[in-house]
Structure 1
Amino acid sequence: MKKVRQIALPLAILFVGAGSAYATSVTKSSTKDAAEKLGYRWNPDAQGVKCIQSEELCTTENTGNICTVVEGSTTHQLFDGDGIPCEQVMYRIQ
């Protein structure tokens, strides 16, 4: 029984450490993807390119508040301009 404990305890500590390291690396890589970027607004009336860049900095990380910009009396929701423009919702930076 003593031999089992001598082997099992170090193995358990090793697996807990490896699991923690993996969880940390996954968290770091997911927050790296959520960079601050300029948001883009959709303008269906525009000629040619309908996804127009704004001056508002937003993030792709869901902060709970959608990024918007007010132009005149109209509020526009902002989207990510990378990849397929004006499809991914952008969020306010906290």
Structure 2
Amino acid sequence: MTGRTAAGPLATTAARESDERDREQLLAQYHRERARRSLVLDSIRAHLDEQPSPRAVRACARRWVADLLAIAEQAAKNKKEASE
């Protein structure tokens, strides 16, 4: 019975450490994804700010949206093909 009680706290400690590592990894992943999103949006915003008129800004934004949707469709198609 003594071996069992000794293993209990060790297993609990190991589980807590594993949970903490998992939490840290998820948090790091969240920060990486947020930073990437911020960089992309800042780049698009800078490109839109370079446009000479409101009409050009809107046209440029429509092109960004069309390009992004095309990328999303291709990514979805690739994932569908990979899962089949």
Q: TM-score under structure 1 normalisation?
A: 0.46
Which 5+ residue runs of structure 1 have no aligned equivalent?
40-52, 57-68, 81-85, 90-94
Q: Partners in 2 of 1:54 and 1:4 — Cα distance? A: 61
Q: 1:54 Cα deviation (Å)?
A: 3.1
Larger radius of gyration: 2
Amino acid at match of 1:54: L
What is the root-mean-square deviation in Å for CA atoms of aligned residues?
3.2
Q: Which residue in 1 is equivalent to 2:30?
A: 27
Q: Which has the higher helix share?
A: 2
* Count of residues paired in the alignment: 58
- Of the three residues 30, 41, 44, the one matched with 1:38 is 44
Q: Which has the higher strand share?
A: 1
- Of the three residues 18, 21, 35, the one matched with 1:18 is 21
Q: Which runs of 4+ in 1 moved over 4 A?
A: none
Amino acid at match of 2:43: K
Which 5+ residue runs of structure 2 have no aligned equivalent?
70-84
Q: Partners in 1 of 2:31 and 2:20 — Cα distance? A: 17
Q: Partners in 2 of 1:20 and 1:12 — Cα distance? A: 12
- Of the three residues 46, 49, 61, the one matched with 1:55 is 49
Q: TM-score under structure 2 normalisation?
A: 0.51
Using a 3 Å threshold, how does the CA distance of structure 1 residues 78 and 70 change in structure 2: closer, same or farther? Answer: farther
Higher relative contact order (CA 8 A, sep 6+): 1
Q: Which residue in 2 is equivalent to 1:79?
A: 64
Amino acid at match of 1:16: D
Q: Partners in 2 of 1:23 and 1:31 — Cα distance? A: 12
